[in-house]
Amino acid sequence: QLKTEADGRMFPTTDDSATIVECLTRVALDRGVSIRTGAAVVSVIRKSTVGDNNLFEIRLKSGEIVVCDRLLLATGSSSLGHRWAKALGHQVVAPVPSLFTFKISDRRFQGLAGISVENVCLQLPMAKLKQMGPVLVTHWGLSGPAVLKLSAWGARFLHENDYQADLLINWLSDLNSEDIRTELLGLKSQEKKAIVNSCPFSLPRRLWEGLIIAADIDPRKRWGELSKKAINKLILELTQGKYQVQGKGVFKEEFVTCGGVSLKEINFKTMESRCCQGLYFAGEILDIDGVTGGFNFQSAWTTGWLAGQGMKVREVGE
């Protein structure tokens, strides 16, 4: 059973990735697939050519040698898979991490670990990248779907900049600046009410207080005492707060890389190599990576299915 989140992400209803593994294993065994464990591969080479077909030699750690005329490499982000692909004539785009959290040391986040906000807009202005969605303040910075998506799209940019970058945060992405201004000016009629005690937006109180302080406003100040200049500064803090990404964390539940076997060298109708007949690729070994929420699984399953069909067609053709 699957569930679909509002932003299109899909997860098993158990919220446990082991459910997916168990499902795939069960179906494979039901279809007569032989799954060999404890059979580590140490090398893959193109042994010889018979007619129009290549023969591949797979050497196991035990010393056993397996020979085949169709070989599918689906080794994920393993460096061994990339090494074998290179040895068989393929270019590999240098892999870099994707889907990670942001390390941000900022006084505005002090004491806010565990606070989440639903609709936040994050921007990496130097990369001209933007993502919207839920965010979670952590002990080390920021996490959540919006952060993970932004890290995926900005993976190479962030890697090239040693994971140092400006980050703009709009905590009120559902509203424009004028709507926010109208809301804040309307509160000036509540002259005696402390600013910290009356947030007109759906923000956690501790975050609201932190943003007020960041705008150089005493949170105990009353709305009637707030100047238009102070309101403008608060609007900027709410919608264009500037933070500094100072490194990456690892999102352990779903860690992927961007980079891998160059897509230019793959026939996407069959997933067969354009460089080495009889060699196929599927999954994360390819230069494909998706955002969190099942998209990397879907890429692996789709390319795996295409490769299986392609290998079957080649067998029939022979």
Instruction: List, for residues 101-155, the tens digit of each pLDDT value.
Output: 999 999 999 999 999 999 999 999 999 999 999 999 999 999 999 999 999 999 9
Domain stop point among 210, 225, 253: 253
Whole domain around residue 231: which residue ranges? Answer: 100-253
Instruction: Supply the Cα-derived Rg of the chain in whole angstroms.
Output: 26
- What is the reported pTM? 0.77
Percent of the chain with pLDDT over 70: 96
In this structure, are 129 and 88 located in the same domain?
no
User: Per residue in 231-253, pLDDT tens?
Assistant: 999 999 999 999 999 999 865 54
pLDDT at 234: 95
In this structure, are 290 and 196 located in the same domain?
no
In this structure, are 93 and 156 located in the same domain?
no
pLDDT at 252: 55
State the average pLDDT for the chain.
Answer: 91
Name the domain count of the chain: 2
Would you say residue 318 has pLDDT above 60? no
- The structure tokens listed for 317 are 């053709």
CA dihedral angle for residue 281, residue 283, residue 285, residue 289, rounded to 10 degrees: 140
Question: What amino acid is encoded at 46 in this protein?
Answer: R
In this structure, are 230 and 112 located in the same domain?
yes
Among 168, 234, 243, 244, smallest CA distance to 201 is for 234
User: Average of pLDDT values for 274-288?
Assistant: 94
pLDDT at 7: 72
In this structure, are 48 and 181 located in the same domain?
no
Question: What amino acid is encoded at 17 in this protein?
Answer: S
pLDDT at 251: 57
Within-domain flag for 12:
no
Residue with tokens 């989140």: 5
